[in-house]
Amino acid sequence: MPAPSSAFKKAVQKLSEKEKEALILKAVRRDAELYDLFSYELEETTLEEVYDKSADTIHSLMINASGRSLSKALAKALRKSIKEIARFKRITKDQKAEVELHLYLLRLIFDNFTGQFDSYYKVFYTSSARLLLRTIQLIQKNLHEDYHLEYKEQLDDYLEQIHSRNKPLSFKLPAAFEVE
């Protein structure tokens, strides 16, 4: 996305309030994410409502995944779910809620689809392991140490399930979630 030039900024400043309003309304009609961003920023929707909408989208993507190869369909649904989490983060900028969505997605995967880890197509297994690693990194980087203890048991369980498969990964996954 291009950064606005100084000439562009000056042109926007010269617009009347009515013209600015018309431009904003035109832009939000064309872009659903921009509409959600404005709704959130203008406090028409709360963090909980945006979270619930994203969680519902993720749930429907994962549960309704189907196709000739369930493992491939789940990998595709997982990619779309990760994009939904990124969209949520762009709208809210809330790091704890982003981690909660990651954990929600992991919970869906480990409660319902671990049988697909043994599939011939290992992309779902690898993607799930990458999501787990990314979630661990987000928690360690962005959240206070008190949250580390809160998530440790759940993450250790997921790590144990991944390591019990004895399938090779192209990256190093820790044996347990380290709490400092």
Cα-based angle 128, 107, 100 (whole degrees, multiple of 5) = 95
The secondary element (H helix, E strand) that includes residue 111 is helix 95-112
Comparison of pLDDT for 67 and 56, the residue scoring more: 56
Sign of CA dihedral 88, 92, 95, 101: negative
Picking from 125, 151, 157, the residue whose alpha carbon sits closest to that of residue 139 is: 151
| DSSP state string for 17-36 | HHHHHHHHHHHHHH-HHHHH
For 8-40, the pLDDT digits (tens) are 888 888 889 999 899 888 988 998 899 999 899
Cα-based angle 170, 114, 57 (whole degrees, multiple of 5) = 95
Answer yes or no: is pLDDT of 179 > 80. no
Answer yes or no: is pLDDT of 2 > 80. no
Average pLDDT over residues 100-108: 97
106's tokens? 């992991």
CA dist., res. 157 & res. 50, Å (int): 28
CA dist., res. 58 & res. 91, Å (int): 16
Residue 160 confidence class, pLDDT cut points 50, 70, 90: very high
Sorted by sequence, the CB contacts under 8 Å of residue 72 that are 6+ apart come out as 121, 123, 124
For 64-83, the pLDDT digits (tens) are 999 888 999 999 999 999 99
Comparison of pLDDT for 120 and 54, the residue scoring more: 54
CA dist., res. 62 & res. 75, Å (int): 9
Answer yes or no: is pLDDT of 1 > 70. no
129 and 173 in contact (C-beta within 8 Å)?
yes
**Mean of the per-residue pLDDT values of the chain:** 92
Residue 48 is predicted with a pLDDT of 96
Sorted by sequence, the CB contacts under 8 Å of residue 45 that are 6+ apart come out as 36, 39
